[in-house]
Amino acid sequence: MFVADRWREYTLLDAANGERLERWGKYLLVRPDPQVIWRGEKRRPEWEKADGIYRRSREGGGRWVKKDLPEEWTVSYGDLRFSLSPMGFKHTGLFPEQAANWDWFSERIRSCPREVKLLNLFAYTGGATVAAAKAGAFVCHVDASKGMVARAKQNAALSGIPGDRVRYIVDDCAKFVAREYRRGNRYDAIILDPPSFGRGPNGERWVIEEGLDELLGLVCSVLSERPLFVLLNSYTTGLSPATNGYLLARHLKRFGGHVESGELGLPVVESGLALPCGASSRWVCDEI
């Protein structure tokens, strides 16, 4: 398991009865989590002191029940800074478990003797973009949501990333990659976090189990001759880390290298265990 255990301004205090209790900076949040299927007594006093609680609706979706929670605040991870806010579908604008990946690929980037040109697809609010740029990479950040790209720009500014180190694109990721291939643009590293389901602007249907293999083939076509790494993240319950790793190995066989796969995890203070929070598969070149 790849465990994000270096946080100082985020703590997963407890997880029980379908919910997780977290501290984000100085604020306490309670959010639902489908992985928390175990029952147990909520003994920590912080459960009753939450500044914000996300409650699901029987009709679908849900809403935040706010007490003293601001509309926006910031947290730090080392020299990275991120803006948070209570967003739809229980999100805050950041996935803290991804810090395990930030540490991993930042070291790869820093140790590379050449400048790394990195493509971040389905890039959301730019956690990976900020980490990669801070490590020295030039990043092309692509997401179909204009609002998420705006938040990514805000996070980059908070972290002191120069404006010329990131190229921001609001577009369908597959269509953008196809154009990059035709233009002859190539990348030394690629990060992608495709959604489980989706609809395109013209009603195009996306189901990850049906489209991931073809998408990876397209994405790998824009790799440089000496790629550094490819990172595939997935929050789709039915896709195991080993399945994603097999797909990566299949498409990247011509480059050699190797794949390592595992679940992402966050340490839980109350139990001393790690909560599984998704999966990552990492292809790496054996020679930089």
Q: Which fold has domain 96-284?
A: Rossmann fold (3.40.50)
Beta-strand (E) ranges in the chain? 2-3, 10-16, 19-24, 27-32, 52-56, 62-66, 73-77, 80-84, 117-121, 138-143, 166-170, 189-192, 197-199, 205-207, 229-234, 258-267, 274-284
Residue 253: alpha-carbon gap to chain centroid? 25
User: What is the token pair recorded at 258?
Assistant: 């190797």
CATH 2.60.40.1180 fits 2-90, yes or no: yes
- Residue type, position 43, single letter: R
List the chain domain ranges. 2-90, 96-284
Query: pLDDT band at residue 43, thresholds of 50, 70 and 90?
Result: confident
- Residue type, position 142, single letter: V
Is the whole model's pTM more than 0.75, yes or no? Answer: yes
Report whether 189 contacts 116 (CB < 8 A): yes
Give the pLDDT score at 206: 75
pLDDT tens string 155-174: 999 999 999 999 999 999 99
Give the pLDDT score at 3: 98
Distances (CA, A) of 81 to 26, 28, 93, 126, 159: 15, 19, 12, 11, 5
